[in-house]
Chain A
Amino acid sequence: MAERGAPMEAEILDRVQESPSLFTLRLRLTDASLQSAYSFDPGQFNMLYLHGVGEIAISIVSDPREADTIDHTIRAVGRVSKGFAALKTGDRVGLRGPFGRGWPLQAAEQHDVVIITGGLGCAPVVSVINYVSQRRERYARLNILQGVKHSADFIWRERYDRWRALPDTRVLLAADAGDALWPWHIGHATDLFGQLDFDPMNTVVMMCGPEGMMHRAVQHMRKAGVPAADIWLSMERNMQCGTGHCGHCQYGGMFVCKDGPVFPYDRLQSLFGRTGF
């Protein structure tokens, strides 16, 4: 990649409110040649810039085949992301990227795939599921396990219904607490691990979510016999630059922005689960 430079200008083509705090921005670089040169792997991210306010790291959720738009699903949590939430179609933002290393989607071909997410809907994984479901024939059994705190946090129900209808695909949903209309499991997502259908020696696990949740899921997968190198996690750390210079995203000896954000568990093992890193 070239020298780190200033952001490129992008236009918001569309804005979809997914839930009260979650929204998707469909962007296109205003310079057509930059847009056509832009390519990425699922799991990579961009630094999105809000004029005068700042930059934040946001995963790319569109399919790499969609060459003329770049989608981001953003949760409005703090100062910059809430600022993004106020933008409308036609507004301009800055974009630098793509950065980092994405999901092992090629390596996972012909393998069983287990996708585990937790917390409040996890955009990076949704892009993986979309990717796999678009190319369903290349992968063996597909398992999707998602846990939410409360059934009301569950979004994209129709997508899950669509995925459930895919061949050889299992969708397991759990809510720690749920209302009467929640047809699925009430309790921890970990309770459902037993229902996953995969061959431990021929599986690629991909997960994303709160580290505590990922920690439990990793333990389970390891116990089930999945090699550490086949369990992939998407990590989140404070990020200022995205290019491995600012030092904020260090996790032990790794820079999450350039060595990750997606890591095989064997690289994280020595520190994973420990606070302070």
Chain B
Amino acid sequence: MVGRPRIAVHKFSSCDGCQLAFLNLGSELLALSELVEVVHFAEAGACDESAQVDLAFVEGSISTRRDEARIREIRKCSNFLVTLGACATSGGIQALRNHADADDWKQAVYAKPETIDSLAMSTGIAEHVRVDLELWGCPVSGAQVLAAIRQLLFGVLPRSNREKVCADCKRSGQVCVLVTGGAPCLGPVTRTGCGALCPQFGRACYGCYGPADSANTPAMAQRLLGLGLSAAEAERQFCRIHSHSPDNERAALILRSDA
């Protein structure tokens, strides 16, 4: 990427929280706007969804027929596509419906479900188009996004980080909530990025950054049972923000057959 790369920020089904990784940057947002040209970012007022860009950020999951078509168009006009957050990487919290009967759910919330365009599944972007980089986290942090953009501006890929939350937890000098209090902390199977926030607040990690590389979720599931959780309680730990990721599905399946 030479010169000022053109960037786009797209939204699909989501809570908008990951876009705030940009909008909450303060003065750094203005500094960023000197480094890149924001071509499309509807929430910030720039609208040109079909413009050819160097770098596209995608927030949100694919959950309607319209989304499916849109993401394919976006892929065509984006050189490098980065997914932002849980929704875009694993379907997000709304993927909880993948395990339920989606029609049933529609009926419960809406009186005239037939007018609602909604697929049975909420899925991550990579299930539909090629993704060049995934930034996990619910939400991704501004620091994470800026670090990735900076490396891309240098013309290199961002450094891979395949550590678990525990690594940051120990580096920041926290005392383990699982070992001292028996809290059902998912830190040992969750990817880093947040800086081990929950343990800093004395509480168990609930896995919002998604399963880490080589997450041994079945062993974690056994440990949760050992801490006294019921199989159903343990299953819910894995079925939360990233229920649709394979590692969590694996653990949930084991626990369901346990229950």
Is B97 part of the binding interface, using a Cβ–Cβ cutoff of 8 Å?
no
How far is the CB of A118 from the nearest CB of chain B, in Å? 28
Is A53 part of the binding interface, using a Cβ–Cβ cutoff of 8 Å?
yes
Asked if A79 and B150 sit within 8 Å, CB to CB, the answer is no
Most interface-central of B151, B155, B156 (chain A CB within 10 A): B156
Classify the secondary structure of A's interface with B.
Answer: mixed
Complex CA–CA separation, A15 to B157 (angstroms): 23
- Interface bits B128-169 vs A (CB < 8 Å: 1, else 0): 000000000000000000000011001111110000000000
**Number of B positions contacting A (CB below 8 A):** 8
- Interface bits A78-89 vs B (CB < 8 Å: 1, else 0): 111011001000
Asked if B159 and A83 sit within 8 Å, CB to CB, the answer is no
Chain B residue at minimal CB-CB distance from A87: B155
Contacts across chains A and B counted by CB atoms under 8 Å:
22
**Number of A positions contacting B (CB below 8 A):** 11
Chain A residue at minimal CB-CB distance from B156: A83
Asked if A52 and B154 sit within 8 Å, CB to CB, the answer is yes
Complex CA–CA separation, A198 to B154 (angstroms): 50
* A50 CB contacts on chain B under 8 angstroms: 154, 156
* B154 CB contacts on chain A under 8 angstroms: 50-53, 83
How far is the CB of B5 from the nearest CB of chain A, in Å? 15
* B151 CB contacts on chain A under 8 angstroms: 52-53, 79
* A53 CB contacts on chain B under 8 angstroms: 151, 154, 156
Complex CA–CA separation, A80 to B156 (angstroms): 7
Is A212 part of the binding interface, using a Cβ–Cβ cutoff of 8 Å?
no
Which residues between 97 and 124 of chain B lie within 8 Å of chain A, taking CB atoms?
none
* B157 CB contacts on chain A under 8 angstroms: 78-79
* A167 CB contacts on chain B under 8 angstroms: none
Asked if B159 and A54 sit within 8 Å, CB to CB, the answer is yes
Chain A residue at minimal CB-CB distance from B150: A52
Complex CA–CA separation, A12 to B41 (angstroms): 40
Seen from chain A, the residues whose Cβ lies within 8 Å of a Cβ on chain B are 50-54, 78-80, 82-83, 86
Seen from chain B, the residues whose Cβ lies within 8 Å of a Cβ on chain A are 150-151, 154-159
The 10 closest A-B pairs by CB, nearest first: A83-B156, A79-B157, A79-B156, A53-B156, A86-B155, A52-B154, A53-B154, A83-B155, A82-B156, A83-B154
Q: A50-B154, A79-B157 are in contact. List 6 more A-B contacts (CB 8 A).
A: A50-B156, A51-B154, A52-B151, A54-B159, A78-B157, A83-B156
